Amino acid sequence: MEEDESIALYRRLAEFHYQMRRFLDAGNAAARTSGLWPQQLQLMLTLKGLPEGERPTITALATRLCLKHHSAIELVTRLVERGFAVRRRSRDDRREVLVELTPSGENILKKPEDRHIREMDVESPELCRVLLAIVSQTGRD
Between 136 and 54, the higher pLDDT residue = 54
- 27 neighbors 38 (Cβ within 8 angstroms): yes
- β-pair partners for 99: 87
Number of domains in the chain: 1
Q: Average pLDDT in the 41-56 region?
A: 93
pLDDT > 70? residue 21: yes
- 108 neighbors 36 (Cβ within 8 angstroms): yes
CATH number at residue 129: 1.10.10.10
d(CA 44, CA 62) in angstroms, rounded, equals 12
Q: What angle do CA 127, 133, 139 make, to 5 degrees?
A: 135
Q: Residue 35: give the domain boundaries.
A: 3-138
> In the chain, pLDDT over 90 holds for what percent of residues?
40
- Widest Cα–Cα separation across the chain: 60
pTM for this structure? 0.75
Q: Average pLDDT in the 58-78 region?
A: 96
d(CA 85, CA 58) in angstroms, rounded, equals 13
- Could you report the per-residue pLDDT of 109-135, keeping only the tens digit for each? 776 555 556 666 666 777 777 778 777
